[in-house]
Amino acid sequence: MSQQRHESTPGNPGAAAAFPDLPEATIARLPEYLRALHNLEGSDTISSEALAAAAGVNSAKLRKDLSHLGSYGTRGVGYDVALLIEQIEYILGLDQRRAVCLVGVGNLGHALAGYDGFASRGFRIVALFDADPARIGEQISGLTVRHIDDLARVAAEESIAIGVIATPAGAAQAVADQLVTAGVTSILNFAPCVLSVPAGVDVRKVDLAIELQILSFHEHRKASLTALPGGRAPTGNQEAVGS
């Protein structure tokens, strides 16, 4: 799944961890906690049990996760909601409202460009790009679609570090290369293909068909189980995508 892995500062006693060395699994859950916490604003404090339920995880896991970031819960009371939100947002780097660009303003790109879940959760879409001359100049929720050739210039102007790819798979690698050249160091890829990027650039992929295929497997499995004489009803399963 990973072409290269993050190094965990192996044998580097000189440079003390400037940043809490969180397990990947924990990082992937922090956004869940954050979302749950935002739904709970108004409460002053919350117990690990309650927050875990709201985030759909085990309470022990939640406590261990939070302990990793040196968080301050109070025994007998719980966690301070506002403080915890602040902590997690800091760790995730959301206090900076990072600039994001979107490449490929087609079917999916239109939906993404208009999605307010971006804005409300720490990001600003600051630029839309496409290669199709017919689309250049189009206005989408306050932004003008620009030509992909302007990417490098705009990325520098706006200090864009995160790019979203919503082009067909055939164009994705080329777009990724352009993004990297433009200084983008994190890519969210919706095209169903593997991207090759230099070290230091992070890529996350969302592939809808893969999600359905995994569900399909479980359907197939459930069907073959219940068809069995000794078969019993299988247990349900809820998984987050990403991690």
Partner DNA sequence: CGCGATTTGTGCACGCCTTCACAAGCGCCT
Partner DNA sequence: AGGCGCTTGTGAAGGCGTGCACAAATCGCG
Residue type, 130: D
Cα–Cα dist 204/185, whole Å: 11
42 is an interface residue for its own copies by CB under 8 A: no
In the shown chain, the binding pattern of residues 189 to 208 toward its own copies, with x for contact by CB under 8 A and - for none, equals: ---xxxx-xxxxxxxxxxxx
Distance of closest approach, residue 236 Cβ to ligand NAD, in angstroms = 22
**Cα separation of 167 and 35, whole Å?**
29
By CB under 6 A, tell whether 176 contacts ligand NAD: no
Q: Map the footprint of ligand NAD across residues 5-24, applying CB under 6 A.
A: none
Q: Is 146 in the site for ligand NAD (CB under 6 A)?
A: no
Q: Are 21 and 8 in contact (CB under 8 A)?
A: yes
Taking alpha carbons only, the member of 128, 131, 127 closest to residue 157 is 127
Evaluate whether 173 touches 203 at the Cβ level (below 8 Å). no
Based on CB atoms, which residue is closest to ligand NAD, 91 or 105?
105
126, 147 contact by CB (below 8 A): no
Among 191, 195, 197, 205, which residue interacts with ligand NAD (rule: CB under 6 A)? 191
Residue numbers 55-84 binding ligand NAD by CB under 6 A: none
Residue 22 burial (10 A CB sphere; 0-12, 13-18, 19+): middle
Nearer to ligand NAD, 29 or 135 (CB): 135
Question: Which does residue 132 bind out of ligand NAD, DNA, its own copies, none, counting CB within 5 to 8 angstroms by kind?
Answer: ligand NAD
Q: Decide: is 84 part of the binding site for DNA (CB under 7 A).
A: no
